[in-house]
Structure 1
Amino acid sequence: MGVRILYNSDTWDAGTITSSSETGDLVDDNVVNDLVAKPWRATGDAAEWIKFDLGGATDITCIGLFGGNWTSAATITLEGHATDSFGSPTYSQVLTVETDEDSVVMGNIVLFLSEQFRWWRITFADGANPDGYIEVGRIKAGEFYEPARSYSEGWNFIPVDPSEGDEKPGVVAIWRTRAQFRQVAVRFRFMTETQFKKFWTIYRKVGRRVPIILALKPTAEPTLYSIYCTFRGQLPLANQLVDWYQATHLVFEEKVE
């Protein structure tokens, strides 16, 4: 399996959203705002849910949750059903909460699936959460695009620390800590004209402004190697040979706030 890109979540974002609870202006509609730092926050943590009515049966092949505050003990379940009745949903999948090599919980979850429902619900059971509430920054879902020809060997995966400090030799600086993020650089070579046009179509829709989900290893480690990101810079498309094209250097920058 190659790279997967979720760039169009228009139907999901236009759905009617309800939830078990909200806190102040941290309402459930915030999860379809591209700003991760503008979350939905529930009042509790033991039995919370957020629900989406898409207005009609809709194919969902990728969903991503970003900016979550769940713990490793959380049980997060994605459910899909034809009607607004979740006593026994047709689709139910417990989402995997990932941790890093130091057992620190990752606040993102990405899942690939193949389901079609009008109604979707995500439930959260995390009664040991020290915050005392559930919070999620962005929930993005829709149908992913998988290019016929994936990225070339040798992609770059770059963690970035944008913290600011007055560094001097031999002195520990006083830092203004900022959230770390990742950059990914990939190349696509020997693309068909069809793939060339699709990349152009994606860029016309999202430009450098609208975040996408980019999954580098969608079947092996979808959460670790997927980022909620934007194009950093322009889209360098070129004709390589007769009827063959390339995207010479695509850089994507993760959005964590």
Structure 2
Amino acid sequence: MSNMLIVYRNYLDAAALSGGDWSSGLPLDNLAHPHPSRVARSTDTDPASSWFEVDFGAQRPVSFAGILNHNLSQRGTWRVRLFNVDLEQPELDTGAVPIWPRVVPFGTGHWGEFQWGGHLDTETAETYGIGSYAILPAARRVRYMRVDLNDPDNPAGYLQAGRALLAPAWTPSVNLQYGWSIEQVDESRIVKSRGGQAYFDGKPKYRRLRFRIEHLDIDEMLANAYELERLKGTGGDILAMVDPDDTAHLHRRTVYGRIAETTPIVNDFNARYSKEFVIEELY
């Protein structure tokens, strides 16, 4: 198990987006919208249509890239490149890699369960708004970024994706404490008639992640947790990944959402600080 990862300072929000061929009704700028259900859609599945470039306007530290709620098939790939001076010589190139997470090594699933190549089945993936993440070896200060989405045989006839995250990632030096929890929240209303029948007013379920970070020094706590809450409040978006190494459950234990309630930074004892987080999923 590796230490958790938190993404909150998304440099895409103030960047200039260009490239590809995207629908006028679902434009490329939708990648900067905090709700992943608001997608950008390419006009077709030609790789020349489904790529984009990002100009941050100045050098920014980037160590994480994410694409949420995409429709690429299990054959789809993506490629992330970072540039500094121009768009010719990349500082880092991930190469074309599968965009679907591999949750089960081939041949090791439960009896009766078949997941081709270890990927989620399409129906399950759709209920999660499938997301893909690239955790880079180290933060690079770069001016430009290019992301290529490739799935020319996609049956939809187009490629689309919701929120994009291009950011530095905070990995706390001391991991989240035991006692963290994740739950499914269902706010559907149930009314029973006089005869005992139950009637449901169904609402979408969402996940709630609670965790606590302790034993951080003042510099790390204020430079990250304090700034996170100051910048985002209860309306801004963040992503929390409980264990980046746990690929089998990455889709279950990674929550993109908002801070549901503000909490204090506590000076527990000499030179050590703690803070609790409550994150509710966004769609």
Alignment TM class, shorter chain as reference: 0.7 to 0.9
Q: CA RMSD in A?
A: 2.8
Question: For residue 133 of structure 2, what is the amino acid of its counterpart?
Answer: V
User: Structure 2: how far apart are the matches of 1:166 and 1:129?
Assistant: 43
Contact 2:72 2:99 in 1 (8 A): no
Distance change >3 Å, CA 59–CA 192, structure 1 → 2: closer
Question: Per residue, is there more helix in 1 or in 2?
Answer: 2
Matched, 1:228 2:230: no
Task: Report what 1:250 is aligned to.
Answer: 277
Matched, 1:184 2:209: yes
Task: Report what 1:237 is aligned to.
Answer: 265
SS of the residue 1:120 aligns to:
strand
CA apart distance, 1:99: 6.5
Aligned with residue 206 of structure 1, among 232, 250, 260:
232
Aligned with residue 101 of structure 2, among 98, 103, 128:
98
- The sequence identity of aligned pairs, in percent, is 18
User: Structure 2: how far apart are the matches of 1:99 and 1:159?
Assistant: 23
Contact 1:110 1:223 in 2 (8 A): no
Map residues 91-170 of structure 1 onto 2, 5 A cutoff. 91-93=93-95, 94-98=97-101, 103=121, 104-105=124-125, 107-113=130-136, 114=138, 115-163=140-188, 166=191
Contact 1:111 1:223 in 2 (8 A): no
Q: Give 5+ residue unaligned stretches, structure 2.
A: 104-114
Map residues 58-69 of structure 1 onto 2, 5 A cutoff. 58-69=60-71
User: Structure 2: how far apart are the matches of 1:36 and 1:152?
Assistant: 29
Task: Report what 1:4 is aligned to.
Answer: 5
Query: Could you report, residue by residue, the CA deviation over 1:20-79 in whole angstroms, capped at 9, with x for unpaired residues?
Result: 112133111111121222221111124221221223443310112112122212122222
User: Structure 1: how far apart are the matches of 2:196 and 2:80?
Assistant: 51
Contact 1:215 1:227 in 2 (8 A): yes
Query: Could you report, residue by residue, the CA deviation over 1:127-158 in whole angstroms, capped at 9, with x for unpaired residues?
Result: 33332211111101111122222211121011
Query: Could you report, residue by residue, the CA deviation over 1:64-116 in whole angstroms, capped at 9, with x for unpaired residues?
Result: 21121222121222223342348x88513325412677623352112210344
Q: How high is the TM-score relative to the length of structure 1?
A: 0.84
Distance change >3 Å, CA 171–CA 140, structure 1 → 2: same
User: Structure 2: how far apart are the matches of 1:59 and 1:14?
Assistant: 14
Distance change >3 Å, CA 141–CA 170, structure 1 → 2: farther
Question: For residue 109 of structure 1, what is the amino acid of its counterpart?
Answer: S
> Number of residue pairs matched?
252
Task: Report what 1:34 is aligned to.
Answer: 34
Q: Give 5+ residue unaligned stretches, structure 1.
A: none
User: Structure 1: how far apart are the matches of 2:259 and 2:30?
Assistant: 23
Q: How high is the TM-score relative to the length of structure 2?
A: 0.77
Distance change >3 Å, CA 231–CA 175, structure 1 → 2: same
Contact 2:60 2:141 in 1 (8 A): yes
